[in-house]
Structure 1
Amino acid sequence: MARVIRFHKTGGPEVLRIEDIDVPAPGPNEVQIRVKALGLNRAEALLRAGTYIETPIFPSRLGLEAAGIVETVGAGVKGFKAGDGVSLVPPISMLRWPTYGELINFPVEHVVKHPEMLSWEEAAAVWMKYLTAYGALIDIAKLTSKDFVVITAGSSSVGLAAIQIAKMVGATPIVVTRTSAKKQALIDFGAVHVIAQSEEDLLSRLTEIAGPNGVRVVLDPIGGPIFEPLTAAMAPGGILLEFGGLSPEPTPFPLFTVLAKTLTLRGYLVHEIVRDPVKLEAAKTFILGGLKTGELKPVIAKTFAFEQIVEAHRYLESNEQFGKVVVSV
Structure 2
Amino acid sequence: MEDPIGDEVLFKVDAFALNRADVLHYQGFHTTLPTFPARIGSEATGEVVKVGDKVTDFKVGDRVTSIPFNTAKYGVQGEYAIVPQDYLSKVPKNVSVEEACSIWMQYSTAYFALFHIGSVKKDDYIFIPAISSSAGYGCFELARDAGATIIGSTRTSVKKEKLKQLGIDHLIITKEENVEKRLMELTEGQGVSFVYDPVAGAFCEEYLEALSNGAVVIIYGLLDPNPTLFPLVPLIRKKAIMDAYSQFNHVEDIDKLNECKGYILERIEKGALKPIVSKVFEFKDYKKAYEYMLSNQQVGKIVIKIN
TM-score by length of 1: 0.90
Aligned to 1:72: 50
Q: Alignment partner for residue 316 of structure 1, among 271, 293, 304?
A: 293
2:40 counterpart of 1:35: no
Q: For residue 303 of structure 2, give the secondary structure of its aligned residue in structure 1.
A: strand
Structure 2: where are the runs of 5+ without partners?
none
Q: Aligned AA for 1:268? A: Y
CA distances 1:210-234 after superposition (whole Å, capped 9, x unpaired)? 1222110000011022212211000
Say what the alpha-carbon RMSD is for the aligned residues.
1.3
Distance in 2 (CA, whole Å) between partners of 1:242 and 1:55 is 20
1:119 Cα deviation (Å)?
A: 1.4
1:250 Cα deviation (Å)?
A: 3.3
1:190 Cα deviation (Å)?
A: 1.9
Structure 1 segment 1-329 matched on structure 2, within 5 A: 23-93=1-71, 95-329=72-306
Distance in 1 (CA, whole Å) between partners of 2:246 and 2:32 is 14
1:249 Cα deviation (Å)?
A: 2.6
Q: Aligned AA for 1:65? A: E
CA contact (8 A) 1:167 1:190 kept: no
Q: Aligned AA for 1:45? A: V
Q: For residue 70 of structure 1, give the secondary structure of its aligned residue in structure 2.
A: strand
1:48 Cα deviation (Å)?
A: 2.1
Q: Aligned AA for 1:213? A: Q
Distance in 2 (CA, whole Å) between partners of 1:78 and 1:38 is 24
CA contact (8 A) 1:131 1:273 kept: no
Distance in 1 (CA, whole Å) between partners of 2:256 and 2:166 is 28
Distance in 1 (CA, whole Å) between partners of 2:64 and 2:74 is 16
CA distances 1:112-135 after superposition (whole Å, capped 9, x unpaired)? 112112111111000001001111
CA distances 1:277-308 after superposition (whole Å, capped 9, x unpaired)? 11111111111111111110010011111111
Q: Aligned AA for 1:292? A: E
Q: For residue 236 of structure 2, give the secondary structure of its aligned residue in structure 1.
A: helix
Q: For residue 246 of structure 2, give the secondary structure of its aligned residue in structure 1.
A: coil
Q: For residue 61 of structure 1, give the secondary structure of its aligned residue in structure 2.
A: coil
Distance in 1 (CA, whole Å) between partners of 2:236 and 2:37 is 48
1:40 Cα deviation (Å)?
A: 0.7
1:186 Cα deviation (Å)?
A: 1.4
Aligned to 1:7: none
CA contact (8 A) 1:63 1:98 kept: yes
Structure 1: where are the runs of 5+ without partners?
1-22
CA contact (8 A) 1:129 1:158 kept: yes
Q: Aligned AA for 2:144? A: K
CA contact (8 A) 2:38 2:73 kept: no
Aligned residues between the structures: 306
Q: For residue 186 of structure 1, give the secondary structure of its aligned residue in structure 2.
A: helix
1:245 Cα deviation (Å)?
A: 1.8
